[in-house]
Amino acid sequence: MTTIIHPDQLARAPEAKSSSAWRGRGLSDRAIAWLFVAPTIALLLAINIFPLIWMIRLSFTSLNLSMSYLPLRFVGLDNFQDILTDEDVWARLQTTARFVICSVALQVIVGFGLALLINRRFRGHSFWTTIILLPMMLSPAVVGNFWTLLFQPQIGPFNYLVSLFTGVPPSSFSMTGEVALAPWTIVLVDTWMWAPYVMLICLAGLRSIPDYIYEAAEVDRASPWRQFWSITLPMTVPFLMLAVLFRAIENFKMFDMVNLLTSGGPGSTTELVSITLKRAAFEKWRTGYSSALAIILFVTVFGAANIYVKALNRVKQR
């Protein structure tokens, strides 16, 4: 963007006075600063922090909204104890961890691979990059919903294509209905959606490497393999880290796509911890218990967010 300020425009400034006079007029900078920041902070306090404090209070109670006529009873740390000693909750956390690790790992492999290929700058690469980016801009809920059509055992094109290539009858397996397949199904759809995200960030990393480093390596007769390991990879790692941390946090919170694709099933094979939380809070109405679980998740995400921001600052400094 070029500058739009024209000298005439500045000259037409109202009542142009001596250069020191402007400080006296209007609001002071300090007042403006606070006036400008306050509404945002106030909104976040009202919509995020006040409810959060309320929820911390509730986490020490046995409140159940389906029995809200009961008097509010404080139970101390009972809810936290129940959650942390509940094998089911740990199983859901493990399911979530497996989902996060597998999907992020796949996204890194696919995304980084694509970024390396796109960085070759073949003809039309920017058009195809935009096409590849489309899935990540879609609504995860709508994505989860339409993949259920694609995965229909009888009529879905996915099973049909698999049977075309492998000869397995298309109605003999169900991607969303089988214990062995469903965890991979959510990983597959998540990767379809978010590998482009990793790709885009890695591409920025690759493009940040100045050409002269490769030229110097070329002069030193470094093999392409050697150049990749000692230049390309190390210089892209900070960007990759950023992508990994962001995806890990997002996938830890994952609710929408999986809720519509498998709704946690079959059984509880794809029940991520957000889905457990939704069931406890909005189906069983165990508000006290689910508040405690929500706080445990908060603390986890917050810890991760801290690391994220530190990594983010490190990338920014480059």
Contact positions with another protein (CB under 8 A) in 190-249: 192, 196-197, 200-201, 204, 207, 211, 214-215, 218, 224, 227, 232, 239, 242, 246, 249
- Asked whether the beta carbons of 106 and 194 are under 8 A apart, the reply is no
Smallest gap, in angstroms, from Cβ of residue 220 to another protein? 12
81 vs 130, beta carbon nearer another protein: 130
Q: Which CB sits closer to another protein, 182 or 291? A: 291
Residue 50 sits in the site that holds another protein (CB under 8 A) = yes
Q: Which stretch binds another protein (CB under 8 A): 73-81, 85-93, 133-141, 175-183?
A: 133-141
Judged by beta carbon, residue 108 or residue 114, the one nearer another protein is 114
Give me the half-sphere count of Cα atoms (radius 13 Å) on the Cβ side of residue 303. Answer: 6
Q: Tokens standing for 89?
A: 């909750």
d(CA 171, CA 163): 9
How many of the chain's residues bind another protein (CB under 8 A)?
A: 122
For 4, 102, 167, 191, the CA distances from 237, given in Å and listed in that order, are 38, 19, 41, 20
Nearer to another protein, 65 or 179 (CB): 65
State the nearest-atom distance from the C-beta of 137 to another protein, in Å: 5
Q: Which stretch binds another protein (CB under 8 A): 76-84, 99-107, 179-187, 189-197?
A: 189-197
Cα separation of 201 and 113, whole Å?
Answer: 12
Judged by beta carbon, residue 19 or residue 172, the one nearer another protein is 19
- Cβ neighbours for 204, distance < 8 A, ≥ 6 positions apart: 239
Of 73, 157, 179, 234, which lies in the binding site for another protein, with binding defined by CB under 8 A? 157
Nearer CB in complex with another protein: 45/179: 45
Question: At its nearest, how many Å lie between another protein and the CB of residue 130?
Answer: 5
Q: Does 5 bind another protein (CB under 8 A)?
A: yes
Instruction: Write the CA distances from 276 to 80, 144, 281, integer angstroms.
Output: 15, 18, 9
What b-and-e string marks burial along 270-284, b requiring 16 or more CB atoms within 10 Å of the CB? bbbbbbbbbbbbeee
Output the CA torsion sign for 134, 138, 144, 147. Answer: negative
Angstrom CA distances, 36 to 23, 32, 158, 269, stand at 18, 6, 52, 48
27 binds another protein, rule: CB under 8 A: yes
- Comparing CB distances to another protein, the nearer of 99 and 246 is 246
89 binds another protein per the rule CB under 8 A: no
| Rounded distance between C-alpha atoms, residue 252 and residue 190, angstroms | 12
Segment 67-86, which members bind another protein (CB under 8 A)?
A: none
Please state the closest distance from residue 32 (CB atom) to another protein, in A: 5
Q: Quick check: 66 and 83 in contact, CB under 8 A?
A: no
List the one residue from 21, 109, 233, 307 that touches another protein (CB under 8 A). 21
Told to check if 184 binds another protein by CB under 8 A, we report no
Residue 96 near residue 107, CB atoms below 8 Å: no
Nearer to another protein, 102 or 153 (CB): 153
